[in-house]
Amino acid sequence: MRKTEARGANAVEMTAAAVLGGLLALGVAMVVLLLGAVAVSNGILKQDVTPQITALACVLGSLSGGVLTCLRWKARYLPGGLAAGLVCYLLILAVGLLSGGDFSLGLQALIELAGCLCGGALAGVLCGGVGRRRPKGRKK
Protein backbone atom coordinates (compact mmCIF):
# COMPACT_ATOMS: atom_id res chain seq x y z
CA MET A 1 0.00 0.00 0.00
CA ARG A 2 1.28 3.45 -0.86
CA LYS A 3 1.67 6.33 1.53
CA THR A 4 -1.20 8.27 -0.06
CA GLU A 5 -3.51 5.27 0.30
CA ALA A 6 -2.54 4.92 3.96
CA ARG A 7 -3.24 8.61 4.52
CA GLY A 8 -6.63 8.25 2.85
CA ALA A 9 -7.52 5.28 5.04
CA ASN A 10 -6.33 7.19 8.09
CA ALA A 11 -8.51 10.16 7.14
CA VAL A 12 -11.53 7.88 6.78
CA GLU A 13 -10.88 6.34 10.19
CA MET A 14 -10.49 9.76 11.76
CA THR A 15 -13.69 11.04 10.18
CA ALA A 16 -15.59 7.95 11.27
CA ALA A 17 -14.29 8.37 14.81
CA ALA A 18 -15.35 12.03 14.89
CA VAL A 19 -18.82 11.17 13.62
CA LEU A 20 -19.23 8.34 16.14
CA GLY A 21 -18.05 10.64 18.92
CA GLY A 22 -20.44 13.35 17.77
CA LEU A 23 -23.37 10.93 17.72
CA LEU A 24 -22.53 9.71 21.22
CA ALA A 25 -22.21 13.32 22.34
CA LEU A 26 -25.63 14.14 20.89
CA GLY A 27 -27.17 11.14 22.65
CA VAL A 28 -25.68 12.06 26.02
CA ALA A 29 -26.70 15.69 25.57
CA MET A 30 -30.28 14.65 24.81
CA VAL A 31 -30.41 12.46 27.93
CA VAL A 32 -29.10 15.34 30.08
CA LEU A 33 -31.66 17.69 28.51
CA LEU A 34 -34.41 15.16 29.18
CA LEU A 35 -33.39 14.88 32.82
CA GLY A 36 -33.28 18.67 33.06
CA ALA A 37 -36.76 18.94 31.56
CA VAL A 38 -38.07 16.40 34.06
CA ALA A 39 -36.47 18.33 36.92
CA VAL A 40 -38.02 21.61 35.73
CA SER A 41 -41.47 20.08 35.22
CA ASN A 42 -41.43 18.49 38.69
CA GLY A 43 -40.46 21.77 40.30
CA ILE A 44 -37.01 20.65 41.44
CA LEU A 45 -35.35 23.35 39.33
CA LYS A 46 -36.68 26.74 38.27
CA GLN A 47 -37.35 27.47 34.63
CA ASP A 48 -34.73 30.23 34.68
CA VAL A 49 -31.88 27.69 34.67
CA THR A 50 -32.56 26.33 31.18
CA PRO A 51 -29.51 28.04 29.60
CA GLN A 52 -27.29 26.47 32.27
CA ILE A 53 -28.86 23.05 31.68
CA THR A 54 -28.23 23.45 27.96
CA ALA A 55 -24.60 24.38 28.52
CA LEU A 56 -24.15 21.46 30.93
CA ALA A 57 -25.69 19.08 28.40
CA CYS A 58 -23.34 20.33 25.66
CA VAL A 59 -20.26 20.02 27.87
CA LEU A 60 -21.10 16.55 29.21
CA GLY A 61 -22.13 15.27 25.79
CA SER A 62 -19.02 16.57 24.07
CA LEU A 63 -16.84 15.28 26.90
CA SER A 64 -18.17 11.74 26.47
CA GLY A 65 -18.06 11.89 22.67
CA GLY A 66 -14.59 13.41 22.77
CA VAL A 67 -13.33 10.58 24.97
CA LEU A 68 -14.67 8.04 22.47
CA THR A 69 -13.03 9.90 19.61
CA CYS A 70 -9.73 10.17 21.49
CA LEU A 71 -9.76 6.44 22.16
CA ARG A 72 -10.06 5.82 18.42
CA TRP A 73 -7.55 8.52 17.36
CA LYS A 74 -4.30 7.34 18.81
CA ALA A 75 -2.08 10.20 17.71
CA ARG A 76 -3.96 13.48 18.05
CA TYR A 77 -6.09 13.86 21.14
CA LEU A 78 -6.98 17.55 21.22
CA PRO A 79 -8.05 17.79 17.56
CA GLY A 80 -10.07 14.61 18.04
CA GLY A 81 -11.93 16.03 21.02
CA LEU A 82 -12.54 19.32 19.23
CA ALA A 83 -13.79 17.47 16.15
CA ALA A 84 -16.28 15.52 18.25
CA GLY A 85 -17.46 18.75 19.88
CA LEU A 86 -17.87 20.42 16.50
CA VAL A 87 -19.79 17.45 15.08
CA CYS A 88 -22.02 17.49 18.17
CA TYR A 89 -22.72 21.21 17.70
CA LEU A 90 -23.52 20.73 14.02
CA LEU A 91 -25.89 17.88 14.88
CA ILE A 92 -27.61 19.99 17.55
CA LEU A 93 -27.94 22.80 15.01
CA ALA A 94 -29.36 20.40 12.40
CA VAL A 95 -31.88 18.98 14.88
CA GLY A 96 -32.94 22.50 15.79
CA LEU A 97 -33.42 23.42 12.14
CA LEU A 98 -35.34 20.22 11.37
CA SER A 99 -37.68 20.79 14.29
CA GLY A 100 -39.09 23.81 12.51
CA GLY A 101 -37.17 26.58 14.20
CA ASP A 102 -35.99 29.59 12.31
CA PHE A 103 -32.31 30.06 11.63
CA SER A 104 -30.99 32.64 14.06
CA LEU A 105 -27.59 32.46 15.65
CA GLY A 106 -28.22 34.20 18.94
CA LEU A 107 -26.85 33.92 22.43
CA GLN A 108 -28.18 30.37 22.90
CA ALA A 109 -26.33 29.15 19.81
CA LEU A 110 -23.10 30.70 21.10
CA ILE A 111 -23.62 29.05 24.48
CA GLU A 112 -24.08 25.69 22.76
CA LEU A 113 -21.01 26.21 20.56
CA ALA A 114 -18.84 27.18 23.53
CA GLY A 115 -20.12 24.24 25.58
CA CYS A 116 -19.51 21.73 22.81
CA LEU A 117 -16.01 22.99 22.04
CA CYS A 118 -15.04 23.23 25.72
CA GLY A 119 -16.27 19.71 26.42
CA GLY A 120 -14.40 18.32 23.41
CA ALA A 121 -11.23 20.18 24.31
CA LEU A 122 -11.47 18.96 27.90
CA ALA A 123 -11.76 15.39 26.62
CA GLY A 124 -8.70 15.88 24.43
CA VAL A 125 -6.67 17.31 27.30
CA LEU A 126 -7.74 14.60 29.75
CA CYS A 127 -7.09 11.77 27.28
CA GLY A 128 -3.74 13.24 26.28
CA GLY A 129 -2.20 12.37 29.63
CA VAL A 130 -3.57 8.83 29.79
CA GLY A 131 -1.05 6.16 28.93
CA ARG A 132 1.85 8.48 28.25
CA ARG A 133 4.89 8.25 30.42
CA ARG A 134 7.42 10.98 30.64
CA PRO A 135 10.98 9.91 30.05
CA LYS A 136 13.04 9.88 33.18
CA GLY A 137 15.88 12.33 33.19
CA ARG A 138 19.35 11.64 34.43
CA LYS A 139 19.99 12.03 38.08
CA LYS A 140 22.58 14.63 38.84
pLDDT band at 97 (very low <50, low <70, confident <90, very high): confident
Instruction: Report whether pLDDT(76) > 90.
Output: no
Smallest CA-to-CA distance from 96 within 39, 49, 56, 58 is with 58
Q: What is the DSSP letter of 40?
A: H
CA triple 106-39-67, angle to 5 deg: 65
Query: Residues 24-74: pLDDT tens digits?
Result: 999 999 999 999 999 999 999 898 998 899 999 999 999 999 999 988 887
CB atoms within 10 A of CB 70: 27
Domain ranges of the chain: 3-127
Mean pLDDT of 133-139: 60
Instruction: Report whether pLDDT(101) > 60.
Output: yes
What lies within 8 Å, CB to CB, of 138 at 6+ separation is none
